[in-house]
Structure 1
Amino acid sequence: MAYIEFRDVVKRFGDNTVLDHISFGIQQGDLVTLLGPSGCGKSTLLRCLSGLETVTEGQIVLDGRDVTNVPASKRNIGMVFQQYSLFPNMTVEQNVAFGLKMKKVDPATIERKVAEAIAMVELSGKEKAYPSSLSGGQQQRAALARSIVTEPAVLLLDEPLSAIDAKLRKALQSRIREIHQELGLTTIFVTHDQDEAMVMSDVIQLFHSGRIEQAGSPVEVYTSPVSEFAASFIGSYNQLSASDFTALTGVPVPQGNVIAIRPETIGISRERPDEKDAHLVDGTVVDSTPRGNVLRYTVRLEGGTTVFVDVLFRSFHMFDRGNKVYLSLPERDCLVIPVNAASARTAA
């Protein structure tokens, strides 16, 4: 039995169905990410688990206990919001201690636990500081300390890093992952950022329009998308229609399918490569965009189809707009995805 179970959970707001029969389990100690675009239902499910929203239908079970109608204060769940929600008139240590005081923990234990939590989020020296004097990243860490200090059964993180700059965001991703592993906390993380989900997660639950589109490890979800939506949302797959792929490669693919190919799996060269187990097509470079240590080329193929090709950014080996190039599409990386179906296979 899973530590947390969502059993056929439905949530409606009036005529709007936000969660449409959600069923899955979470193992104790896992860090599970609910990933998807805005409005897909991921934050609503988090709020249903925390008790801040009531479900319309279905059950939520935590550690063998049905908590569907249990008040939020009785669920022993910690939650960190995007807005931090620190008390402005309290110092860092007072904010962190608040939950323990509400539980009437003795002062000596409060002092010890607060010091440990503040050290864990690397805020030592800021104990007497008020939220207004802290940076966004420091405020987020204070909110995290306040949530973990009560030793919750489950920690919920609702897009806690979305308002933080990129460099600090990466550092906090790593620290949250480290704290999760140190404490062995069952953690659910909500984000719309697929890169963040890949870094943070043991398991990804990909949401789409109130349903779970795909579930699995980051590698499984990234390399084996089960639908057009999964391929477009995770990995930025190129998607070719069956007719376009057949016209380019000569390989017949039944109509009603799309061929999904990750940009980084495509080879690009000036000379026609002598490659086995790959489809060779020619094209013209129409654009290039630096993406950190990766350079993304936009290449127009015969018939007008365009694809993205990602290569390591090497200034001594670059292509200019208008250059004629050859692309190699490894057969094993050309995934045939039936439209609106839930399975994928490798193209011949």
Structure 2
Amino acid sequence: MSYIEFKNVVKRFGDNTVLDHIDFGIEKGDLVTLLGPSGCGKSTLLRCLSGLEQVSEGQIILNGRDITDVPASKRNIGMVFQQYSLFPNMTVEQNIAFGLKMQKVAPDVIEKKVAEAIAMVELTGKERSYPASLSGGQQQRAALARSIVTEPDVLLLDEPLSAIDAKLRRALQSRIREIQQELGLTTIFVTHDQDEAMVMSDVIQLFHAGRIEQAGSPVQVYTNPVSEFAASFIGSYNILRADEFRALTGEAADDGHVVAIRPETIGVSADPLADDAAYVVEATVVRNVPRGNVLRYTLEASGVEFRVDTLFRSFHLFDDGERVFVAIPKHDCLHIPVEAAFARTAA
């Protein structure tokens, strides 16, 4: 039995089914990310687990206990929202101590626990600061400390980093993951950012239209998408119809399949290539776009456009309109059934 179990959970708002028979388990101590686009149901599931929403059907089990109808205040679940929700009239240490005071913990224990939490989130020196004087990252760390200081059975993080700049966001991703592992704290993280999910997760649950499209480790989900939606959402695969694949490679796709190819697996060269394990194609550079340390090319061959990602090496860049040779590894051409590719879109 898993530490947390969602058993055929359904959530409706009027005639709108937001969660459609969600059924999976979470192991104790894991960080599980609910990943998906806005409106797919991931935050609603989090709120059902916390007790802020009641399920329409199904059960939620926590550590062998059915908490489906248990009030939120009795679930011992910590939650950090996108909005930090710190009390503006309280200092950092007062905000962090608030939950412990509500639990009527002894003052000396509160003092010790708050000091430990402040050190853990690296806010030493900010104990007597008010939220208005803190940066966004500092406020988020204070909110995190307030949630973990009460030693919850589960920590829920609902897109907590979406309002923070990219550099600080990466630093907080690492720190949250370190704290989660140090405490062995079962954590559910909600995000629409696939890179964030890849960096932080033990397990990714990929949501689409109120259902789970795919589940697995970051590597499993990234390298083996089960549908067109999964391929397009994680990894930005090139998705080729059967006729496009034949035009590009000269070979047929499997019957009733589309073909997904990760852009970083494709090699590109100014010189002719010879590789029996790859489809070698001559192509034209349509455009190139720098993306940090990666340069993304859009290429065209036989009327088919596709993307290629390469490391940004300034000593050799291909210009728009330049003719190049590409090698598409055959084993990286994933044939996905059309039924799987489009079933969720129709849901």
TM range (shorter): over 0.9
* Equivalent runs, 1:233-248 vs 2, <5 Å: 233-248=233-248
| Offset, 1:274 | 1.0
Rounded to whole Å, the distance in 2 between the matches of 1:227 and 1:65 is 35
Name the aligned partner's letter for residue 54 of structure 1: Q
Aligned partner of 1:69 in structure 2 is 69
Aligned partner of 1:106 in structure 2 is 106
Aligned partner of 2:337 in structure 1 is 338
Residue 340 of structure 2: SS of its match in structure 1? coil
**Which stretch shifts more, 65-74 or 237-246?**
237-246
* Residues 1:306 and 2:322 are matched in the alignment: no
Rounded to whole Å, the distance in 2 between the matches of 1:23 and 1:46 is 14
Aligned partner of 1:345 in structure 2 is none
Rounded to whole Å, the distance in 1 between the matches of 2:255 and 2:242 is 6
Gaps of 5+ in 1: 343-348
Rounded to whole Å, the distance in 2 between the matches of 1:76 and 1:176 is 20
Aligned partner of 2:7 in structure 1 is 7
Q: Deviations over 1:1-33 (max 9, x none)?
A: 100000000000000000000000000000000
Rounded to whole Å, the distance in 2 between the matches of 1:253 and 1:54 is 46
| Offset, 1:248 | 2.1
User: Is the contact made by 2:274 and 2:280 (CA closer than 8 Å) also made in structure 1?
Assistant: no
* Equivalent runs, 1:39-54 vs 2, <5 Å: 39-54=39-54
Aligned partner of 1:162 in structure 2 is 162
Aligned partner of 1:328 in structure 2 is 327
Q: Deviations over 1:60-84 (max 9, x none)?
A: 0000000000000000000000000
Aligned partner of 1:346 in structure 2 is none
Rounded to whole Å, the distance in 2 between the matches of 1:165 and 1:253 is 42
Q: Deviations over 1:297-328 (max 9, x none)?
A: 1101112x111101110111110011011111
Rounded to whole Å, the distance in 2 between the matches of 1:286 and 1:145 is 49
* Residues 1:36 and 2:48 are matched in the alignment: no
User: Is the contact made by 1:282 and 1:302 (CA closer than 8 Å) also made in structure 2?
Assistant: no
Rounded to whole Å, the distance in 2 between the matches of 1:64 and 1:38 is 31
* Equivalent runs, 1:1-348 vs 2, <5 Å: 1-303=1-303, 305-341=304-340
User: Is the contact made by 2:248 and 2:302 (CA closer than 8 Å) also made in structure 1?
Assistant: yes
User: Is the contact made by 2:34 and 2:189 (CA closer than 8 Å) also made in structure 1?
Assistant: yes
| Offset, 1:243 | 1.4
| Offset, 1:254 | 3.7
Rounded to whole Å, the distance in 2 between the matches of 1:98 and 1:254 is 60
**Which stretch shifts more, 159-168 or 265-274?**
265-274
Rounded to whole Å, the distance in 2 between the matches of 1:204 and 1:132 is 35
Residue 341 of structure 1: SS of its match in structure 2? helix
Rounded to whole Å, the distance in 2 between the matches of 1:340 and 1:74 is 44
Name the aligned partner's letter for residue 244 of structure 2: D
Q: Deviations over 1:268-293 (max 9, x none)?
A: 11221011210111210010111111
Name the aligned partner's letter for residue 337 of structure 2: P
Rounded to whole Å, the distance in 2 between the matches of 1:329 and 1:248 is 10
User: Is the contact made by 2:92 and 2:130 (CA closer than 8 Å) also made in structure 1?
Assistant: yes
Name the aligned partner's letter for residue 3 of structure 2: Y
TM-score (norm 2): 0.97
| Offset, 1:255 | 4.7
| Identical counterparts, % of pairs | 77
Residue 297 of structure 1: SS of its match in structure 2? strand
Residue 232 of structure 2: SS of its match in structure 1? helix
Rounded to whole Å, the distance in 2 between the matches of 1:296 and 1:253 is 25
User: Is the contact made by 1:243 and 1:255 (CA closer than 8 Å) also made in structure 2?
Assistant: no
Gaps of 5+ in 2: 342-347
Name the aligned partner's letter for residue 199 of structure 1: V
Name the aligned partner's letter for residue 92 of structure 2: V
**Which stretch shifts more, 184-193 or 250-259?**
250-259
**Which stretch shifts more, 143-152 or 256-265?**
256-265
Rounded to whole Å, the distance in 1 between the matches of 2:253 and 2:187 is 42
Instruction: Kindly report the root-mean-square deviation, in angstroms, between the aligned alpha carbons of the 2 structures.
Output: 1.0
Rounded to whole Å, the distance in 2 between the matches of 1:302 and 1:253 is 16
Rounded to whole Å, the distance in 2 between the matches of 1:129 and 1:60 is 39
Residue 231 of structure 2: SS of its match in structure 1? helix
Name the aligned partner's letter for residue 325 of structure 1: V
Name the aligned partner's letter for residue 325 of structure 2: Y
Name the aligned partner's letter for residue 320 of structure 1: D
